[in-house]
Chains A and B, each alone.
Chain A
Amino acid sequence: MSFSWARVRAIMVKELTDYRRNRFVMVFTMTILPLIFIVAPTIQLLTAPAVIASSKLDARIGISLLYMLLIPALVPSTVAAYSVVGEREQGTLEPILITPVRREEFLVGKALAVLVPTLVVAYAIFGIFLAVVALFAHPGIRSAIFAGSHIPVQVLFTPLLAGWSIWVGIAISARSSDVRVAQQLSVFANIPPIAIVALMSFNVIKPSTAIALALAAALLALDALGWRAVAAMFDRERLITGTRT
Chain B
Amino acid sequence: MDATPARAAEKRSVPAAGSLTAPSGEHALTVDRLSKRFGERVAFQDVSFDVGYGEVFGFLGPNGAGKTTTVRTLGTLISPSSGTATVAGIPLSAANGPQIRSRISIMPETPGLYQRLTVAENLRCFAGLYELDDDAERIERALRAVNLQDRAGDPCGSLSKGLRQRVALARALLNDPAILFLDEPTAGLDPVATHDVHELIVALRERGVTIFLTTHRLDEAERLCHRVAILSRTLRLIGTPDQLRAQLFNQALEVRVLAPLSNPGSTFTGLPAVDGWEASGAGGYRLTVSDPQTAAPAVARALVSAGADILSLSESRHSLEDVYLELINEDVEAQQR
Contact = CB atoms under 8 A, between A and B. Distances in A.
Nearest to B38: A243
B18 to A, nearest CB: 16
Contacts of B106: 95, 98
B115 A96 contact: no
A237 B116 contact: no
Contact of B129 (A92, A94, A99, A236): A99
Interface residues of A, number: 32
Interface string A1-32: 10010110111011001100110000000000
A1 B117 contact: no
Interface string A85-113: 00000111111111111100000000000
B65 interface: no
A237 B155 CA distance: 30
A1 B102 CA distance: 10
Q: Is the interface of B mostly helix, strand, loop or mixed?
A: mixed
Contacts of A14: 114, 117, 121, 125
B77 A96 contact: no
Q: Is the interface of A mostly helix, strand, loop or mixed?
A: helix
B108 A94 contact: yes
Contact of A17 (B117, B126, B127, B171): B117
Contacts of B155: 21
Given A1-B98, A98-B106, A7 B77 contact: no
A98 B98 CA distance: 9
Contacts of B39: 243
A7 B131 contact: yes
A99 B101 contact: yes
B75 interface: yes
Nearest to A23: B116
A100 B101 CA distance: 5
Contact of A94 (B99, B112, B117): B112
B105 interface: yes
A240 B128 contact: no
Contacts of A17: 116-117, 121
A7 B102 contact: no
B72 interface: yes
Nearest to A93: B112
A240 B116 contact: no
A98 B131 contact: no
A230 B52 CA distance: 40
Given A1-B102, A100-B98, 4 more contacts: A1-B99, A13-B128, A237-B79, A240-B77
6 contacts: A1-B98, A10-B128, A92-B112, A99-B101, A100-B98, A241-B72
